[in-house]
Amino acid sequence: MKAWDSDPVVLTVAVTGADVFRENNPNIPYTPEEIADSAIGAAEAGANIAHLHVREDDGTPSGRPELFVDVIDRIREGSDLITMVSTGGSNDMTIEERTTGLEASPDISGVESGSMNFGDETFITAPPAGRGIVKKALDSGIALEAECFDVGHVISAIKWVEDGILPGLIRINLVFGVPGGMDASPEALDAMLRPLPGDAFWTVTCIGRHHRRMMALALLKGAPGIRTGLEDVAYISRGVHAPSNAALVEAACELTRSLGREVADQPTARELLALA
């Protein structure tokens, strides 16, 4: 059995999201150029993966494939970041609109393994739709990460592996702090970890004010990955807006090292994620 701190940590930056806007933090990037530049800055600060949504120039969440292509082309021109597209999009998008990022040939695609109440709305990913996203990604040679907001989502993702729908290593993002999903607490983290197989590559995401606390708990439990970024948290300290994704990544790197872990370099990150 490996020691909890034996492997370096893969750090994901969630650059812009679909549910936060400049009234939440004036530094959130909107345009393809802004999103790509912010991702490249985060890479220079230590990020390994860019988790990507796209927007129209006014900040409206978008599913236009040409925006994903533009962002990913720019990122690849300026960095060696691993690129990951969201297939969550926003609540009013169809499944077809949510999967247009696959047309940009990212390294990884997210896939929700279940539905949930999301604040006052209901975010629907029916099982056939989730399996369809998996097939579409795999047919294009794109790796998968299951996005899990509750324990049932984790169990569903593991069932996909057992049934051969998700092949090989399971990459899984455990999300805390979304209203309607798992709360941001040590007990919730334990509950989400309980069903995971020992070889799962798991990342912790926390939305909102318990962001740093949940990253720290994850790191101390041996998390292979953690996520930060302006999609997840507006503030870098109490009452102070995060000035950039790079600043949040720098803070996450500092936290990681202060707890006796190291941040992975890019070749190591690709190896840990079982990416070609």
Burial status of residue 161 (CB atoms within 10 A of its CB: 0-12, 13-18, 19 or more)? middle
CB 154 within 8 A of CB 196: yes
Is residue 136 situated within a structural domain?
yes
CATH number for the domain harbouring residue 162: 3.20.20.70
Is residue 168 situated within a structural domain?
yes
Phi, psi of 199 (to 5 degrees): -95, 10
Count structural domains, the chain: 1
Is residue 140 situated within a structural domain?
yes
Q: Is 9 helix (H, G, I), strand (E, B) or coil?
A: strand
Is residue 2 situated within a structural domain?
no
| Distance separating the N- and C-terminal Cα atoms of the chain | 25
CB 157 within 8 A of CB 200: no
Smallest CA-to-CA distance from 265 within 273, 105, 86 is with 273
pTM of the model: 0.97
Tokens of residue 68, six digits? 């994903």
> For residue 166, which amino acid is it?
L
Is residue 74 situated within a structural domain?
yes
Confidence (pLDDT) at 151: 98
Tokens 């370099």 -> residue: 265
Is residue 174 situated within a structural domain?
yes
Query: Per-residue pLDDT for the chain (276 aa), expressed as one digit of tens each?
Result: 678 888 999 999 999 999 999 999 999 999 999 999 999 999 999 999 999 999 999 999 999 999 999 999 999 999 999 999 999 988 889 999 999 999 999 999 999 999 999 889 999 999 999 999 999 999 999 999 999 999 999 999 999 999 999 998 899 999 999 999 999 999 999 999 999 999 999 999 999 999 999 999 999 999 999 999 999 999 999 999 999 999 999 999 999 999 999 999 999 999 999 997
Confidence (pLDDT) at 1: 66
CB 72 within 8 A of CB 86: no
| Euclidean distance between CA atoms 26 and 35, whole angstroms | 14
Is residue 5 situated within a structural domain?
no
The domain of 205 spans 10-272
Is residue 78 situated within a structural domain?
yes
Confidence (pLDDT) at 70: 98
CB 113 within 8 A of CB 153: yes
Q: Residue 29 CA to chain centroid, in angstroms?
A: 17
